[in-house]
Amino acid sequence: MALFEFELPNPNTENPQVGLTEADLVQRSASSVPPPARRLTPVAKLIDVSKCIGCKACQAACMEWNDVRPPVGTFEGSYDNPADLTPEMFTLMRFTEWVNPQTQNLEWLIRKDGCMHCEDPGCLKACPAPGAIVQYSNGIVDFVHENCIGCAYCVKGCPFNIPRISQVDHKAYKCTLCSDRVAVGQGPACAKACPTHAITFGTKEEMTKHAEGRIKDLKSRGYENAGLYDPPGVGGTHVMYVLHHADQPQIYAGLPKDPKISAIVQLWKGASKYAGLAAMAAFAGIGFLHYLVKGPNRVTSADERAARQLTEGGGS
């Protein structure tokens, strides 16, 4: 029994026709798509926080593959570099120094932050631009920049605070789960670069199974609350974490404990959309009916005569 399971089988590359096309969409923002004829196997990226050494190779690989170069920043008092996700930095190692109250040990928690690729994506729900955000049947949520209008509604929709709006081209950016690599049977660049295999990629089923082994191992080494982060509030995610303290995800730089699409967003994008159009139609309809039934309110010649009498009387 291997304690350190470094190698996972490479993703399937046997089918060269694999590709993510319009036909693979299951959701498209502000529009509807026909149910896809074929269903791709759901994929997932598994980030094992307990194996991460904080080397930032994933960040470098992400920049390299996506050809983005965040400007040189300034020191903000932590290892986080840059200080936050930016339109040019789709993934970010977030470092937390945490004192475990049970053991009094200082634990250095390092979480690779980025898009979680929710099964029920809040960004897509909030997006007003048809086709600017899409979801493929393998679970990847992708931004289609030619359709993006830069309104930042996705920022409001996201329960993880991930999308960032570029001040250069006014479009939203986030991790694509390397949809272009996955489309040809490759894993994401970050997973490829990770030296400790803290980041692995495969089908969601494989990754869940792999996580189970890791959690068992962590529990055997005293992390009794080790567990998988695959939050059901957003229908599960296609980026999952193995956490040694899964009972309190918020200690990992504010990873939400029970993320959900905000009730405000649900109301804004749900009931108010229909009630709003209905209210406007009702007002216009009532006006039209009133005119049909009651007709215009006209000034009569008697009114004009009265006005003439009044002005002549008052003027002289």
Where along the sequence are the contacts to other proteins (CB under 8 A)? Answer: 30-31, 128-130, 147, 149-153, 155-156, 158, 161, 165, 167, 170, 262, 264-265, 267-268, 272-273, 275-277, 279-280, 283-284, 287, 290-291, 294-301, 303-308, 310-315
Q: Cβ distance 47 to 241 under 8 Å?
A: yes
For the CB of residue 293, give the shortest distance to other proteins in the complex, in Å.
10
Q: 152 or 184: whose CB is closer to other proteins?
A: 152
Q: Cβ distance 203 to 9 under 8 Å?
A: no
For the CB of residue 215, give the shortest distance to other proteins in the complex, in Å.
31
Amino acid, res. 287? G
Question: Which pairing describes strands 239-243 and 43-48: parallel, antiparallel, or unpaired?
Answer: parallel
For the CB of residue 86, give the shortest distance to other proteins in the complex, in Å.
13
For the CB of residue 136, give the shortest distance to other proteins in the complex, in Å.
20
Q: Which of 157, 109, 119 is nearest to 140 (CA)?
A: 119
Q: 158 or 190: whose CB is closer to other proteins?
A: 158
For the CB of residue 286, give the shortest distance to other proteins in the complex, in Å.
9
- HSE on the CB side for 226, CA within 13 Å? 20
Q: Which of 58, 115, 109 is nearest to 85 (CA)?
A: 115
199 forms bridges with which residues in the sheet? 47
Complete DSSP assignment for 106-158: EEEEEEEES---BSS-HHHHH--STTSEEEETTS-EEE-GGG-----HHHHH-
Q: 29 or 186: whose CB is closer to other proteins?
A: 29
Q: 1 or 263: whose CB is closer to other proteins?
A: 263
Q: 67 or 146: whose CB is closer to other proteins?
A: 146
What residue spans of 133-270 are helical by DSSP H? 153-157, 179-182, 189-193, 204-220, 263-269
Q: 99 or 277: whose CB is closer to other proteins?
A: 277
Q: 99 or 279: whose CB is closer to other proteins?
A: 279
For the CB of residue 29, give the shortest distance to other proteins in the complex, in Å.
8
The Cα-based distances of 237 to 11, 159, 216, 273 in angstroms read: 19, 12, 21, 27
Q: Cβ distance 238 to 176 under 8 Å?
A: no
Contacts 24+ apart (CB under 8 A), 166-173: 166/87, 166/88, 167/87, 168/87, 169/145, 171/143, 171/145, 172/87, 172/123, 172/132, 172/143, 172/148, 173/87, 173/88, 173/90, 173/143
Q: 18 or 152: whose CB is closer to other proteins?
A: 152
For the CB of residue 24, give the shortest distance to other proteins in the complex, in Å.
21
For the CB of residue 303, give the shortest distance to other proteins in the complex, in Å.
4
